[in-house]
């Protein structure tokens, strides 16, 4: 994607999410039939975080995954949520305060394409339901790889394309025809539901995304199709440098 195209996409996505920030959590639950919570729990089990870990949640949005990690790593750990949409962070901040985790969980307005962190900083870097929205998927995975420590995980939880063709046909009918109507009724706005099908149309499928993880320099890459493949979890590990 050229710089001009990337800039247009970035600006459009920012406008979409800024516009729905206060209803984003409702939208997620309605559109996924609450499955997004089950998918995130599955991801957390696979990640096996430890108390005291330092975690980065890229494109943290309203902070749900950052909160889940904070509850696991505890006060001896650290969680930072990065997002380029301040309106989303403004929704996340009161959640942290209400749960009393704001002392070791922080939010930062920033760009996933060029993250302001040193190399080899975090024990894990995650991105949930946002990788399809970035201007350059490979660049973001490379940045996530750069900022985690050798031997540590890069994790993506994202909508995907079912492998089984008959189910994929049925799912696409729901996704392109029915879901926008439900979403429009739920939040009263059209733009997010014009964007949602478009964002998935050109996004890599589960197998292609696994190859991008490898291309970004990760190893031991695994992917898990969830709910018949409408979502996928990808985990890759940054190589340990030889002495």
Distance in Å from the first CA to the final CA of the chain: 37
CA 87 to CA 231: how far, in whole Å? 26
Residue ranges per structural domain of the chain: 3-237
| Cβ proximity of 85 and 105 under 8 Å | no
Provide the whole-model pTM.
0.91
pLDDT in tens, 30-66: 667 678 999 999 999 999 999 999 999 999 999 999 9
Q: What is the dihedral of CA 32, 138, 60, 155, to 10 degrees?
A: 70
Crossing angle of the two packed helices 24-32 and 35-47, in degrees rounded to 10: 90
Residue 243: the pLDDT is: 54
Whether 122 and 166 have beta carbons less than 8 Å apart is answered as no
Specify the CATH number of the domain 3-237: 3.40.50.150
Query: Given strand 231-237, what is the order of strands in its sheet?
Result: 105-109, 78-83, 54-58, 122-128, 148-159, 231-237, 219-226
The Cβ-side half-sphere exposure at 241, using a 13 Å CA radius, reads 6
pLDDT: is 129 or 188 the higher one? 129
- Residue 75 tokens, joined: 């006060």
Q: For the segment 207-236, what is each residue's pLDDT rounded down to a tens digit?
A: 999 999 999 999 999 999 999 999 999 999
Predicted local confidence at residue 152, as pLDDT = 98
Residue 241: the pLDDT is: 80
Segment 142-164 shows an average pLDDT of 96
Minimal CA–CA distance to 222: which of 154, 164, 148?
A: 154
Which parts of 15-61 are beta strand (E)?
54-58
């Amino acid at each position: 994607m050229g710089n001009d195209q990337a800039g247009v996409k970035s600006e459009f996505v920012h406008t979409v999410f800024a516009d729905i920030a206060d209803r984003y959590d409702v939208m997620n639950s309605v559109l996924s039939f609450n499955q997004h919570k089950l998918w995130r729990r599955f991801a957390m089990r696979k990640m096996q975080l430890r108390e005291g870990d330092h975690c980065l949640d890229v494109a943290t949005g309203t902070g749900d995954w950052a909160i889940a990690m904070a509850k696991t790593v505890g006060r001896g750990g650290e969680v930072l949520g990065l997002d380029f949409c301040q309106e989303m962070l403004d929704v996340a901040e009161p959640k942290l305060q209400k749960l009393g985790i704001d002392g070791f969980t922080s939010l930062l307005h920033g760009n996933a394409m060029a993250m302001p962190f040193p190399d080899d900083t975090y024990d894990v870097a995650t991105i949930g339901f946002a990788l399809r929205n970035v201007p350059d998927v490979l660049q973001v995975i490379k940045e996530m790889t750069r900022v985690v420590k050798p031997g540590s995980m890069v994790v993506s939880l994202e909508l995907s394309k079912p492998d089984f063709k008959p189910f994929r046909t049925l799912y696409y009918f729901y996704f392109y025809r029915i879901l926008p109507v439900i979403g429009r009724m739920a939040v009263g706005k059209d733009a997010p539901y014009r964007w949602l099908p478009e964002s998935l149309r050109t996004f890599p499928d589960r197998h292609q995304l696994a190859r991008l993880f490898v291309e970004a320099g990760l190893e031991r890459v695994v992917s898990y199709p969830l709910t018949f493949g409408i979502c996928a979890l990808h985990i890759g590990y940054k190589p340990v440098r030889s002495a």
